């Protein structure tokens, strides 16, 4: 058979093999982005809002708050045909992201839902905006939750899971998407596909960090949803937070139902049922066959070149994308030639078992960290897989250009890097005890409590490395993100400062440069929030907060369980100090097993570093001298000073935005 005829035959077979179901009740809609005109078809409830093409479901704030929001498609969707007694299948896809200005202040998640209620809006917190905290069984819904907080009330398995909910937030089945390298609250855009096949009684949830649907679902549930889809349903999204800055947004959305029987013309002049109506095939007219062939030939004469052009376009697109990927990898080479060793992707892939989820040891704002075991050398390392985003690239280059040139016993040492296959990989010394916050706040049953001598040693080590960065390097290094999760602990519980993705280099004789404010709420100095001026004194403030955490065993911002208000650690310790009870701030889990004078010294040192007035904060060299008993203690005012800003800081528009390109 000639190739052209074979191609035509294949297309005809393919076209006739795919049934086309048409029903008046089928629903289909798509939002490529959300413009103001979209609100004609959508209803926003609670704290949800439209901004820059996205639907935000929870408040966009920089201080922790409680929030709940819902967006609903205005028209109810028919999911049940009474005439045929058939429940429709449905499919939806959408892009979402869960971001946070303070990754340590997490919760709670978002959900896609179908509900008979067109005004569903639940409570903030772990209720995901789906149910009311006082009436847990009132709202009816089928929902797929993307939960970012472990809530024991609803028997959540962890703080990163997808679950199917039927009229209850106790999911009938859950799955952890980390198995496919998906971290829900990474801040990255994530595309989700939810498919329900009524004939097979199966529901699938797929997730991807690209726009291509993966072959393997994250969640696969054998479930019959027909008892829950017996009427017209509203479809939409909901999300919630409680004492958090977590932000949930939807970028695009498409939805369709299918599976109803084809609509058949009905003519019943004598109330005769359809089973008695005989359909006669049409009688072919002379010459109609030739006309049909001519039309078919004309159709393929047009379709052939169009298909060829489409194939050529796809080939060109793939070639250009591959070229860009190679160019992107090569663009890093000049920036890191003077840096540490370059690893091969094959070597790191083998050492991490293909970046398997079982090797994950932590998540940061810019990527995931894996434990790597190198069989050839018998050594262990930590591999950070940076995100493919502008911030991820910036952090990657910052780490290589800054930390690679530093040498100090209290720094996490960078071993090497890799940019093969479009990846951004950094290799560090492995820290057996993980980060300080993991050890400091772990349950007593899960490990030994951080002893007092270790805490003092951590304070000294951190002060030593900051004094080195601020005053002993050729160029002053401003870290900008000092917090307990960026302080690693080696085998002997020595502090190792890491994560220099936000760090900045500054000549010792130069004034601070304005920049976009970056860091973590609770650790940011007041003047940095006000002016965006990163100096060594902003690092001193963050150090002071960390020292108070180490001494008190409390987070920078915590909820008071007695009255449900948020408590700032610096304010709380200063309040006790003004009452002459500063020793009461000591971590109660230590059960008094510490030197009281040392404890008071550490607490007062933390307050002096966290002074609202930057000019009254000590230098890190002075702090180290006090910790090593080589200098006099620092006087701390009995009451916390009122907030004031130095007028010596430049306030011109050029000063404030001059570093935005960086």
Q: Write down the domain spans for the chain.
A: 19-258, 334-429, 436-657
pLDDT number for residue 62: 74
CATH architecture for the domain at 334-429: 2-Layer Sandwich (3.30)
Burial of 507 per CB tally in 10 Å (0-12, 13-18, 19+): exposed
Residue 46 Rama label (left phi>0; alpha psi -120 to 50; beta): left
Q: What CATH number belongs to 436-657?
A: 1.10.510.10
Average pLDDT, the chain: 79
Residues annotated as catalytic (active site), given as ranges? 481
CB contact at 8 A, 459 and 620: no
130 and 169 Cβ atoms separated by less than 8 Å:
yes
Do the beta carbons of residue 462 and residue 495 sit within 8 Å? yes
Dihedral in degrees, nearest 10, Cα atoms 167, 168, 173, 175: 120
Mean pLDDT calculated for residue range 387-400: 67
- Max mean pLDDT among 195-199, 307-311, 405-409 falls in 195-199
Q: 27-36, 66-75, 382-391, 467-476: which has the minimum mean pLDDT? A: 382-391
Q: What is the DSSP letter of 282?
A: P
Mean pLDDT value of segment 551-569: 85
Model confidence at 341, pLDDT cuts 50, 70, 90, reads confident
At residue 558 the predicted structure's pLDDT band, cuts being 50, 70 and 90, is confident
What pLDDT was estimated at residue 270?
Answer: 35
Residue 410: pLDDT band (50, 70, 90) is: very high
pTM of the complete model? 0.51
Residue 303's pLDDT band (cuts 50, 70, 90) = low
pLDDT score for 650: 40
Q: Alpha-carbon torsion 216, 218, 221, 225, what sign?
A: negative
Q: Which two tokens stand for residue 357?
A: 């989820």
In this prediction, residue 544 carries a pLDDT of 96
Residues of the chain above pLDDT 90, percent = 38
Phi, psi torsion values for 42, nearest 5 degrees: -125, 150
Q: What's the whole-number mean pLDDT along residues 340-350? A: 90
CA gap 569, 550 in Å, rounded: 11
Evaluate whether 480 touches 503 at the Cβ level (below 8 Å).
yes
pLDDT at 394: 67
- What tokens were used for 364? 């940061």
The CATH T-level fold of domain 19-258 is: Jelly Rolls (2.60.120)
Q: Three-state DSSP class for 75?
A: coil
Phi-psi region of 125 (alpha: psi -120 to 50; beta: other; left: phi over 0): left
pLDDT in the model for residue 448: 63
Among 173-177, 405-409, 546-550, whose mean pLDDT is lowest?
Answer: 405-409
Residue 253 has pLDDT above 90, yes or no: yes
Residue 421 has pLDDT above 90, yes or no: no
Close Cβ partners of 276 (under 8 Å, ≥ 6 residues apart): none
Average pLDDT in the 375-396 region? 77
Beta strand 379-386 with 414-418: parallel, antiparallel or unpaired? unpaired
Q: How far apart are CA 56 and CA 49, in angstroms?
A: 5
Q: What would the pLDDT profile of 91-127 be if each residue is shown by its tens digit?
A: 999 999 998 877 666 778 999 999 988 777 777 877 8
Q: State the Cα–Cα distance between residues 250 and 242, nearest whole angstrom.
A: 20
**Residue 108 three-state SS:** coil
């Amino acid at each position: 058979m000639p190739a052209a005829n074979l191609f035509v035959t294949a297309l005809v077979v393919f076209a006739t093999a795919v049934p086309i179901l048409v029903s008046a009740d089928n629903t289909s809609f798509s939002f490529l982005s959300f413009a103001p005109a979209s609100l004609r078809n959508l209803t926003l409830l609670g704290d949800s809002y439209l901004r820059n093409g996205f639907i935000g479901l929870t408040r966009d704030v920089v201080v922790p708050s409680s929030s709940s929001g819902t967006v609903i498609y205005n028209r109810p969707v028919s999911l049940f045909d009474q005439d045929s007694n058939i429940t429709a299948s449905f499919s939806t896809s959408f892009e979402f992201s869960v971001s946070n200005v303070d990754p340590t202040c997490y919760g709670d998640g978002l959900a896609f839902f179908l509900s008979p209620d067109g005004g569903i809006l639940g409570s903030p917190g772990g209720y995901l905006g789906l149910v009311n905290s006082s009436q847990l069984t009132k709202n009816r819904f089928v929902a797929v939750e993307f939960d970012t907080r472990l809530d024991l009330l609803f028997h959540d398995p962890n703080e990163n899971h997808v679950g199917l909910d039927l009229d209850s937030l106790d999911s009938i089945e859950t799955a952890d998407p980390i198995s496919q390298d998906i971290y829900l609250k990474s801040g990255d855009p994530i595309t989700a596909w939810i498919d329900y096949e009524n004939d097979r009684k199966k529901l699938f949830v797929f997730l991807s960090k690209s726009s291509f649907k993966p072959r393997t679902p994250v969640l696969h549930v054998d479930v019959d949803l027909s008892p829950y889809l017996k009427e017209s349903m509203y479809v939409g999204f909901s999300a919630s937070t409680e004492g958090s800055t977590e932000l949930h947004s939807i970028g695009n959305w498409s939805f369709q139902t299918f599976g109803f029987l084809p609509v058949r013309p009905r003519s019943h002049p004598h109330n005769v049922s359809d089973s008695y109506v005989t359909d006669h095939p049409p009688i072919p007219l002379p010459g109609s066959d030739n006309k049909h062939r001519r039309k078919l030939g004309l159709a393929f004469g047009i379709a052939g070149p169009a298909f060829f052009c489409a194939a050529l376009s796809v080939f060109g697109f793939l070639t250009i994308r591959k070229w860009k990927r190679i160019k992107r990898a090569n663009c890093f080479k000049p920036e890191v030639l003077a840096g540490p060793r370059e690893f091969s992707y094959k070597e790191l892939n083998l050492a991490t078992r293909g970046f398997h989820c079982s090797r994950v040891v932590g998540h940061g704002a810019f990527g995931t960290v894996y434990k790597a075991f190198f069989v050839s050398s018998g050594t262990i390392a930590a591999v950070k897989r940076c995100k493919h985003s502008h911030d991820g690239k910036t952090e990657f280059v910052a780490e290589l250009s800054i930390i690679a040139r530093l040498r100090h016993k209290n720094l996490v040492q960078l071993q090497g890097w890799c940019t093969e296959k479009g990846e951004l990989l950094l290799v560090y010394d492995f820290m057996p005890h993980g980060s300080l916050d993991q050890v400091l706040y772990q349950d007593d049953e899960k490990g030994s409590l951080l002893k007092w001598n270790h805490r003092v040693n951590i304070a000294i080590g951190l002060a030593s490395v900051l004094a080195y960065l601020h005053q002993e390097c050729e160029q002053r290094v401003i870290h900008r993100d000092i917090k307990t999760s960026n302080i690693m602990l080696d085998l002997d519980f020595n502090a190792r400062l890491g994560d220099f993705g936000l760090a900045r280099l500054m000549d010792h004789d130069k004034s601070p440069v304005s920049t976009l404010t970056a860091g973590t709420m609770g650790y940011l100095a007041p003047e940095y929030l006000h002016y965006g001026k990163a100096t060594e004194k902003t690092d001193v403030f963050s150090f002071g907060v960390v020292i108070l955490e180490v001494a008190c065993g409390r987070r920078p911002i915590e909820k008071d369980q007695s009255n449900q208000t948020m408590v700032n650690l610096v304010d709380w310790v200063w309040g006790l100090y003004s009452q002459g009870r500063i020793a009461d701030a000591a971590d109660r889990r230590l059960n008094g097993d510490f030197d009281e004078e040392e404890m008071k010294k550490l607490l007062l040192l933390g307050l002096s570093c966290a002074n609202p007035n930057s000019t009254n904060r000590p230098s890190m060299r002075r702090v180290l001298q006090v910790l090593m008993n080589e200098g006099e203690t620092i006087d701390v005012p009995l009451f916390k000073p009122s907030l004031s800003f130095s007028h010596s800081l430049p306030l011109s528009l050029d000063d404030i935005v001059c570093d935005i390109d960086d």
